[in-house]
Amino acid sequence: MWSAAFSPDDSMLASGGNDACLRLWEMASEPYEFVRFPDHNESVYSVAFSPDGNLLASGSHDNTLRVRDITALRVSGRARSGVMLNHISHVYSVAFSPDGLWLASASRDSVVRVWDVSDRDTHRLANARPLGLIGHRSWVNAISFSPNGKLLASASHDTTVRVWDVEKSKEIACLIGHKDAVTSLSFSADSRLIASSGKDHSVRIWDVNTQHELLVLGDPHAVMHGIAFSPDGKYLAMSGGDKVVHVWGII
């Protein structure tokens, strides 16, 4: 399994893995799988719900981003509608903006694409032209919107973290410090900090406004895979190749 995400009301869990299926689990007293979408052709790397819970997106090794209208899911057990959106290569990460107006996808083709999903119309989305955020020189491993919705950050195999103003389709910062591929990133709850982890065995914390690196953490014996700030911004959790979850207190 590569990715999992809770629905906004915590009633469902979506998961994607090497079996090319997107599965939805009912989070009742005894969780169980109640819907399966077998429409991808290869591994599902990333899944995300829209903030209102009406859309479900997934990115796959099959070079596609799929978006489904799941408003009737509990009644019919099916998506009301769906659309397949293409990248040139594998789609590693998908994310909705906090206001639900944008859906971003990151790919091995080195491009971050941003789709307007403000009207929740998957039929219109099929013919929509996305914004292309171009700047990375190698594949993009992870993306994240800032909690205030103003910025989008992307982490790449080119060792950089780039920060974008989505509305202006403009790169506003290139954070340089990692010595190898950057694999994961996370904004703090106040959108002031970005934490990034990479194959150089480090976790780096950046000030978004000044674009300065504030702190370097890590384990010299472990590749860092995933990273996340706690909702209150007091803690930073990281998973690594050493089979340990590390948690730091953030002042």
- Block residue for tokens 């694999």: 183
Count helices and strands in the chain by DSSP H and E runs: 2, 23
Beta bridge partners of 110: none
Residue 137 exposed, middle or buried by CB count within 10 Å (0-12, 13-18, 19+): exposed
The pLDDT profile of the chain, 251 residues, written as one tens digit per residue, is 899 999 999 999 999 999 999 999 999 878 899 999 999 999 999 999 999 999 999 999 999 999 999 999 988 888 989 999 989 999 999 999 999 999 999 999 999 999 999 998 998 998 889 999 999 999 999 999 999 999 999 999 999 999 999 989 899 999 999 999 999 999 999 999 999 998 988 899 999 999 999 999 876 666 777 899 998 888 999 887 777 888 888 86
| Cβ-contact 154, 173 below 8 angstroms | no
| DSSP one-letter code for 11 | S
Task: Identify the CATH homologous superfamily for domain 3-192.
Answer: YVTN repeat-like/Quinoprotein amine dehydrogenase (2.130.10.10)
**Taking CA 103 as the corner, what is the angle to CA 151 and CA 124, rounded to the nearest 5 degrees?**
140
pLDDT (tens digit, 9 = 90+) per residue, 126-150?
A: 888 999 999 999 999 999 999 999 9
Q: What is the pLDDT of residue 179?
A: 94
Helix or strand or coil: residue 227? Answer: strand
Q: Greatest CA span in the chain, whole angstroms?
A: 51
